């Protein structure tokens, strides 16, 4: 592909503000805007960035969450400063008050005969709450589409573990780590030897062969890959993972039958992303993520601990990690040199954070040199840009928007199958064994 076409693809994929190709495409989907637990009835509004827009999220006296433009439609003063009271948010500048849907409830500084509440509205987006998340619909439909049936998001909030983290880079390069399985054998466990693990440890295959072969395909929900290596006793060790429109992933690090999770890579703007990991609490097979040695000792570098800075009220002040580029992501060069930790960074998530942020705010496609190990990356970029351009150029409804059940058919994880079993047959067979704690909507 020519340099000019690569740059055009990069711009179409990575720019997310109003009027951009990907930004308008993403606005056709429901966007997880914030955690339900972040806003409280009659509590303080929170500054919120989504797809390059400056918004607030708040909860009214009835407990209904609202996502709206932070600017009061009277004189553009910020409603972040507003008083959340008696069923609405009141601008402190002139006392105008608005409901969560943007309806003007009062124009306190205007004489009764001159008021025009029925003709002025604050910019507001429809919201729904499900799976511990506040979802916003930022598209132009008068009636929003159904919420996507991403399986983990169908569970009750009490059944979920939700972990948000701000990542200071573009959404796409952050997301692509989840659909790039070969990096696991280096970035996360490059310091682990196969003879340190029991024969049945699921990480043994990844360590024994750090260069898997792949199959990848387009799907109704986005794209999917199966990475495979020879397994014991005439088996194949499979690791499946998915990209789901518009910015969701399911990564392979968990037993397939119970790996009920999804990760949103929500673009706040072109250069910042909110990672939201949503996981079924019953998925607690820690050994699949942090295997111990045959002698029972723990392997360093496989911690999963998000150490946060205190939240601030800035536009990008939520869920920031204490380790960041300014302190070199707390890399321990002695641990790296000695081979104690391959990267010298002790936390799995932080290892991903460091390498994707190190690429810069938006990585330069023209400097990349892809190999066979990148076929899922290449396929996903092409699938995403073609879908976004089809919406832009022809109004083609984005995949899954009007077919919410399409997302329910996706599952990721690892398993072993007979060495002669076709990869799609292996996936289909494993799908017959999976658990559905929220029930199967197609049943």
Q: Where are the domains of the chain?
A: 30-144, 153-431
Per-residue pLDDT tens digits for 307-330: 999 999 999 999 999 999 999 999
Instruction: For residues 6-23, give the mean pLDDT.
Output: 97
Indicate the pLDDT class of residue 17, thresholds 50, 70 and 90.
Answer: very high
Indicate the pLDDT class of residue 193, thresholds 50, 70 and 90.
Answer: confident
d(CA 82, CA 106): 14
Indicate the pLDDT class of residue 289, thresholds 50, 70 and 90.
Answer: low
d(CA 421, CA 126): 46
Mean pLDDT value across the chain = 94
Cα–Cα distances (Å) from 18 to 22, 23, 170, 386, in that order, read: 9, 6, 16, 19
d(CA 390, CA 163): 33
What is the Cβ-side half-sphere exposure of residue 437, based on CA atoms within 13 angstroms? 19
Indicate the pLDDT class of residue 297, thresholds 50, 70 and 90.
Answer: confident
pTM given for the model: 0.95
Classify domain 30-144 at the CATH superfamily level.
Answer: Rieske [2Fe-2S] iron-sulphur domain (2.102.10.10)
What is the Cβ-side half-sphere exposure of residue 189, based on CA atoms within 13 angstroms? 28
Per-residue pLDDT tens digits for 68-105: 999 999 999 999 999 999 999 999 999 999 999 999 99
Indicate the pLDDT class of residue 441, thresholds 50, 70 and 90.
Answer: confident
For 74-120, what is the HEC assignment?
CCCCEHHHCEEECCEEECCCCCCEECCCCEEEECCCCCHHHCCHHHC
Nearest partner of 181 among 224, 232, 233, judged by Cα: 224
pLDDT of residue 290: 59
Residue 286 has pLDDT above 80, yes or no: no
Residue 331, φ and ψ in degrees, nearest 5: -65, 140
**For the chain, how many helices (H) and strands (E)?**
8, 19
For the record, the structure tokens of 352 come out as 């991903």
Per-residue pLDDT tens digits for 204-235: 878 888 899 999 999 999 999 999 999 888 99
Indicate the pLDDT class of residue 305, thresholds 50, 70 and 90.
Answer: confident
Q: What is the largest CA-CA distance in the chain?
A: 85
Instruction: For residues 154-162, give the mean pLDDT.
Output: 95
d(CA 408, CA 393): 28
Residue 201 has pLDDT above 80, yes or no: no
Burial class of residue 101 (count of CB atoms within 10 Å of its CB; 0-12, 13-18, 19+): middle
What is the Cβ-side half-sphere exposure of residue 171, based on CA atoms within 13 angstroms? 33
CA angle centred on 37, ends 35 and 43, rounded to 5°: 115
Instruction: For residues 415-426, give the mean pLDDT.
Output: 95
Per-residue pLDDT tens digits for 374-406: 999 999 999 999 999 999 999 999 999 999 999
d(CA 327, CA 144): 43
pLDDT of residue 299: 82
pLDDT of residue 65: 98
pLDDT of residue 312: 98
């Amino acid at each position: 592909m020519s340099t000019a076409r690569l740059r055009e693809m990069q711009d179409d994929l990575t720019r997310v503000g109003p009027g951009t190709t990907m930004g308008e495409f993403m606005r056709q989907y429901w966007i997880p805007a914030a955690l339900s637990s972040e806003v409280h009835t009659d509590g303080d509004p929170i500054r919120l960035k989504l797809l390059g827009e400056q918004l607030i999220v708040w909860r009214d006296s009835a407990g209904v969450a609202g996502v709206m433009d932070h600017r009061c439609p009277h004189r553009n003063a910020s409603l972040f400063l507003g008083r959340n009271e008696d069923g609405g948010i009141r601008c402190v500048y002139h006392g105008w008050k608005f409901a969560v849907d943007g309806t003007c409830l009062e124009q306190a500084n205007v004489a009764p005969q001159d008021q025009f509440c029925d003709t002025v509205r604050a910019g507001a987006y429809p919201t729904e709450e499900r799976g511990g998340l506040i979802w916003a619909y930022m598209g132009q439909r008068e009636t929003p589409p159904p919420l996507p049936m991403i399986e983990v998001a169908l569970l009750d909030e009490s059944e979920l573990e939700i972990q948000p983290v701000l990542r200071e880079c573009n959404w796409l390069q952050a997301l692509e780590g989840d659909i790039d399985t070969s990096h696991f054998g280096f970035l996360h466990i490059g310091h682990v030897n196969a003879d340190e693990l029991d024969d049945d440890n699921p990480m043994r295959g990844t360590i024994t062969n750090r260069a898997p072969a792949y199959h990848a395909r387009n799907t109704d929900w986005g794209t999917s890959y199966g990475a495979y290596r020879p397994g014991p006793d005439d088996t194949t060790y499979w690791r499946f993972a998915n990209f789901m429109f518009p910015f969701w992933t399911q990564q392979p690090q968990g037993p397939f039958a119970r790996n009920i999770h999804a990760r949103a890579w929500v673009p706040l703007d072109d250069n910042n992303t909110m990672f939201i990991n949503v996981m079924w609490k019953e998925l607690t097979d820690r050994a699949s993520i942090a295997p111990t040695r045959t002698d029972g000792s723990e392997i360093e570098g496989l911690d999963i601990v998000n150490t946060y800075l205190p939240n601030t009220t800035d536009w990008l002040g939520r869920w920031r990690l204490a380790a960041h580029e300014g302190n070199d992501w707390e890399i321990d060069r002695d641990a790296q040199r000695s081979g104690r930790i391959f990267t010298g960074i002790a936390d799995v998530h932080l290892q991903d954070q460091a390498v994707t942020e190190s690429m810069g705010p938006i990585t330069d496609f023209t400097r990349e040199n892809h190999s066979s190990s990148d076929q899922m990356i290449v396929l996903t970029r092409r699938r995403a840009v073609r879908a976004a351009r089809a919406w832009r150029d022809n109004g083609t409804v984005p995949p899954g928007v009007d077919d919410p059940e399409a997302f329910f058919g996706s599952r990721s994880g690892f398993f072993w199958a007979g060495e002669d079993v076709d990869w799609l047959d292996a996936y289909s067979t494993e799908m017959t064994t999976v658990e559905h704690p929220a029930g199967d909507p197609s049943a």
